[in-house]
Structure 1
Amino acid sequence: MTSASELAPAELAALLHFYADSGCDWLLEDEAVDRIAEFQAQRLEREAQMRNRQQAAPQTSERPANAGRSAPSPAARTPAPGVNVAVPDADAVAAARQACAAANSLDALKAALEGFSGCNLKNGARSTVFASGDPSSGIMVIGPMPSAECDRDGIPFSGRPGQLLDRMLAAIGLHRDKVLLTNVVAWRPPGNRPPSPAEMDICRPFIERQIELAAPNHLLILGNFTARFFFAEEQSIFAMRGTWRDVQVGDRAIPAIASLHPQDLLTAPANKALAWKDLLTFRQRISLNES
């Protein structure tokens, strides 16, 4: 077993990040600890402290506890800077729309997204994952939400799914630096759970404004969540994939095709044939517009 003292600081930091991403919250002690007995002792100690306070209570003065103390100032009741306060969903959606309306470029939208505090997903995420790639390519690839790898690296489509996407794009003559990659949601939900309807409503103005500013000619939509988000349907990705549809964003109707997310293909490699068919359909439409 490797001791922590044998690791360099960078190696130890990487190991702790790996444990955190894996959901490991406890480390083993050098010797076994009886947590049940420890908890029981703490409970008995709390009960004894409570009894002592109750016995001492009659001996105290009847003077009101707040007598002689000035009322807390409004500043004292204000949350400290940096503390995230829950915002009502309707107000958060309105704030998101206002922030997006003021953003006239992708850089301004990224800054607005990084400064936005109306979505609780941001509180538990390590990174705000914005778009990467070439906005002028006319091609936008949209996934659902950041994975643990994306959250760690701060870019969309990281890790093994990202590597598979790179190979998928290369197979039809594209490269991640020559298209625009992004996600519907910019923050990784805890435990990779699906975003709630309220969280989706809050994030919708940002992705729609991102599409407006990038002005793509074609959308490649990856994954079940993403297809349902844009197509407003409850069918599975297998029913929605492979067919061109128009996605209305602002005053534009953008041709879009849905396919399986690379993570789906890593989980079920037999479905790669379906994704390959979708990619060929996507490539054919792009080639027609380029000619």
Structure 2
Amino acid sequence: MWSERQAAMLRAMGLRLWQPPAGEAEVPIAEPAAGPPAPAVEAAAPVSLPVAAPPRPEPRPTAGPAAAAPPRPAVTPPAAVDLGAVSGLDWQPLREAVAGCTACALSQSRTQTVFGVGHPQARWMIVGEAPGEQEDLRGEPFVGPAGQLLDAMLRALALSRAAEGEPAQRVYIANTLKCRPPRNRNPAPEELQRCEPFLVRQIELVQPRIILAMGRFAVQALLRSSEPIGKLRGRVHRYQGVPLVVTYHPAYLLRNLPDKARAWDDLCLAAEVAERGGS
């Protein structure tokens, strides 16, 4: 058992005393030999280690004019194309207006605009939906597999997208949108609305005998109808007095081969109307 003096020394050193469990024999500890009394040991003062001061928080700006965040510049939404300004343009000024158009956000992601291709006085006018990736790269509508299918359908009727030759055997091809939507998403209604004056002017310049609207968004832009193509095809509609026939988009036909026969019927109907001079 610790003597009182030893216990006091151990406590002063900060050591914890061990006490034997109850019931165990206690081991006697020999007392030191008699001699002069040991000097008293003063308890050492606890040593305080330096503690790093916590980081001071950044001062928060006080309320007032000096602390106010700088005002953000006002964002002006792009203005729609003025139909009156476009309606008097001839082909080259119209092409330049399309190339420089910034009326919607598509102008920020396009590679180039897709104006149109074909004979400027063709009897046929084909209106598609929006440019895809290949069209965006080449600047021409209906290229790639869908364009190859369209060209094959036109050749079967002795028609061509060539810019020269007999207008009766030529077509002019344009899209409802002149810029490609990112990732080939569907055109937004405001995009179709802002781009519409360009298409309207193209139809006025071509003065076709027949318009072939290919695809849902071309039909919606020209006929203002949300009915399915299956319900609109098979009869003659009118756009600004011009006969209009509805049919499927070639990209759709590549995925739905049975509808190719229906699309051929639509082309034959359009050819009959064109031969009658649009009556």
Asked if TM exceeds 0.5, the reply is yes
Q: Aligned partners of 1:215, 1:170: CA distance in 2, in Å?
A: 22
Give the structure 2 partner of residue 43 of structure 1: none
TM-score (norm 1): 0.67
Alignment equivalent of 2:193, drawn from 201, 206, 229: 201
Secondary structure in structure 2 of the residue aligned to 1:194: coil
1:142 aligns with 2:119: no
Q: CA deviation at 1:138?
A: 2.0
Give the structure 2 partner of residue 116 of structure 1: 101
Alignment equivalent of 1:210, drawn from 202, 206, 217: 202
Q: In 2 relative to 1, CA 86–241 (structure 1 residues): closer, same or farther, beyond 3 Å?
A: farther
1:100 aligns with 2:61: no
Asked if 1 retains the 8 angstrom alpha-carbon contact of 2:123 and 2:274, the reply is no
Instruction: Give the CA RMSD over aligned residues.
Output: 3.0
Amino acid at match of 1:141: I
Q: Aligned partners of 1:170, 1:262: CA distance in 2, in Å?
A: 14
Asked if 2 retains the 8 angstrom alpha-carbon contact of 1:99 and 1:112, the reply is no
Secondary structure in structure 2 of the residue aligned to 1:137: coil
Map Cα deviations across residues 2-36 of structure 1 (whole Å, 9 max, x no partner).
xxxxxxxxxxxxxxxxxxxxxxxxxxxxxxxxxxx
Q: Where do 5+ consecutive residues of structure 2 fail to align?
A: 1-53, 163-169
- Percent of residue pairs identical: 34
Q: Where do 5+ consecutive residues of structure 1 fail to align?
A: 1-50, 59-63, 72-76, 80-84
Asked if 1 retains the 8 angstrom alpha-carbon contact of 2:104 and 2:194, the reply is yes
**What is the aligned length?**
216
1:277 aligns with 2:269: no
TM-score (norm 2): 0.69
1 or 2, which has the higher helix percentage? Answer: 1
Q: Aligned partners of 1:104, 1:118: CA distance in 2, in Å?
A: 17
Give the structure 2 partner of residue 82 of structure 1: none
Give the structure 1 partner of residue 150 of structure 2: 165
Amino acid at match of 1:208: V
Q: Aligned partners of 2:215, 2:122: CA distance in 1, in Å?
A: 22
Secondary structure in structure 1 of the residue aligned to 2:261: helix
Q: CA deviation at 1:55?
A: 4.8
Give the structure 1 partner of residue 248 of structure 2: 260
Q: Aligned partners of 2:232, 2:180: CA distance in 1, in Å?
A: 25
Map Cα deviations across residues 41-77 of structure 1 (whole Å, 9 max, x no partner).
xxxxxxxxxx98x75659xxxxx989xxxx9xxxxx9
Q: Aligned partners of 2:91, 2:77: CA distance in 1, in Å?
A: 25
The runs of 4+ residues in structure 1 deviating greater than 4 Å are 54-58
Q: In 2 relative to 1, CA 233–78 (structure 1 residues): closer, same or farther, beyond 3 Å?
A: closer
